[in-house]
């Protein structure tokens, strides 16, 4: 039996359910209702409302990616040093929370953040000024950081744990202080993990429509919301596909960057 044939089911499946559907998005995006070729659906991104939704999504997702990176890096370093078991750590921050539905978890932030919510009640008790971020972009950023932080921690952790301790010891022996060692050794060696983490946070944050629906009231529309509405409410699949193509450009750009910087797939998250 030719063992190569064992890959046939996967290739068939991926062809039918991954490649063909993506081609269909391009087909719908590049045609109008009569089936004639047009760039109109893609050019529609430049209309003020769409541009605003895209800009808002880019702004909030970049911000939450940066916050995730700042929070995740020290966490990954601490977990690396403590030598905690990788599987138990991954389960704890990544798998276990997922068994509580993602919508419910995001929804729970409403209870925590509301004007009379848990956090504000606590703040009042200790006499601090209250937060007023529900239904603002701030709440959406918080929701993004909350949901996607594990996607930043894991790839960084995976690269840090593989750094040869001797390299760090050598740097210290040769007279580098801890800060220099970090800047010259640890940080450069962890770049693939950082890039992979950025991709894994930025893409879902950029394209989310659910976090903005739940935590942003219905006041703030992100590009994800616009596309979702085109498909489920307005029913203009051509426009929805056209806008999705624009979105995919961002994703492809992101994928190329991470492929170039992480050739060995070292930082793969899972």
Partner 1 sequence: MIKTTAQKIYVALIFIFLYAPIFTLMVLSFNASKTRSKWGGFTIKWYKQLFQNEEIMEALWNTLLIAFLSALIATIIGTITCLAFNYLKKSNRAILLGMANIPMLNAEIVTGISLMLLFISLGIKFGFMTILLAHITFNIPYVILSVLPRMKQLNPSTYEAALDLGCNQWQAFFKVTFPDLLPGILSGFLMAFTMSLDDFVITHFTKGPGIDTLSTKIYTEVKKGIKPEMYSLSTIIFVAVLVLLLLVNYTPKDKKNK
Q: How far is the CB of 91 from partner 1 (least distance, A)?
A: 6
9 near partner 1, rule: CB under 8 A:
yes
For residue 213, state whether it binds partner 1 (rule: CB under 8 A). Answer: yes
Q: Which is nearer to partner 1, 60 or 214 (CB)?
A: 214
Size (the chain), residues: 270
Say whether residue 138 binds partner 1 (CB under 8 A).
Answer: no
In this chain, which of 69, 123, 168, 231 binds partner 1, going by CB under 8 A? 231
| Residue 33 is a binding residue for partner 1 (CB under 8 A) | no
Note whether 122 binds partner 1 by CB under 8 A: no
Q: Which two tokens stand for residue 126?
A: 């200790």
Shortest reach from residue 29's CB to partner 1, in Å: 10
Rg (CA), the chain: 22
Exactly one of 43, 51, 70, 100 binds partner 1 (CB under 8 A); which one?
100
Q: How many of the chain's residues bind partner 1 (CB under 8 A)?
A: 84
Distance, in Å, from the CA atom of 192 to the CA atom of 158, rounded to the nearest integer, reads: 10
State in angstroms the smallest separation of the CB of 182 from partner 1.
14
Q: Which stretch binds partner 1 (CB under 8 A): 34-42, 45-53, 125-133, 207-215?
A: 207-215
Contact between 69 and 198 under an 8 Å Cβ cutoff? The reply is: yes
**Residues of 35-62 as b/e, b for ≥16 C-beta within 10 angstroms?**
eeebeebbebbeeeebeebbebbbebbe
- Minimum Å gap between C-beta 50 and partner 1 is 15
Instruction: Report the C-alpha gap between 213 and 222 in whole angstroms.
Output: 9
| Rounded Cα distance, 197 and 191, in Å | 10
**Residue 106 sits in the site that holds partner 1 (CB under 8 A):** yes
Residue with token string 């209309």: 47
């Amino acid at each position: 039996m030719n063992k190569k044939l064992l890959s046939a089911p996967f290739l068939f499946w991926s062809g039918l359910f991954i490649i063909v559907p993506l081609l269909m998005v391009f087909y719908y995006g590049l045609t109008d209702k009569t089936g004639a070729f047009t760039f109109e659906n893609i050019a529609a991104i430049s209309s003020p409302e769409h541009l605003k939704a895209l800009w808002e999504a880019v702004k909030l997702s970049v911000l939450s990616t940066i916050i995730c990176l700042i929070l995740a890096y020290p966490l990954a370093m601490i977990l690396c040093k403590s030598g905690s078991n990788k599987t138990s750590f991954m389960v704890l921050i990544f798998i276990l929370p997922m068994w509580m539905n993602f919508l419910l978890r995001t929804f729970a932030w409403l209870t925590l953040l509301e004007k009379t919510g848990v956090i504000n009640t606590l703040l009042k008790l200790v006499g601090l000024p209250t937060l007023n971020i529900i239904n603002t972009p701030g709440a959406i950023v918080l929701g993004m950081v909350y949901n996607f932080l594990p996607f930043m921690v894991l790839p960084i952790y995976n690269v840090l744990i593989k750094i040869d301790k001797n390299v760090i010891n050598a740097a210290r022996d040769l007279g580098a202080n801890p800060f220099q060692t970090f800047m010259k050794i640890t940080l450069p060696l962890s770049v693939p993990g950082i890039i992979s983490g950025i991709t894994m946070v930025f893409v879902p944050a950029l394209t989310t429509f659910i976090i903005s629906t739940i935590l942003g009231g219905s006041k703030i529309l992100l590009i994800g919301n616009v596309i979702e509405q085109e498909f489920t409410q307005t029913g203009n699949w051509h426009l929805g596909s056209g806008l999705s193509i624009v979105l995919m450009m961002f994703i492809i750009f992101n994928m190329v960057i991470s492929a170039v910087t992480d050739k060995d797939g070292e930082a793969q998250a899972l």
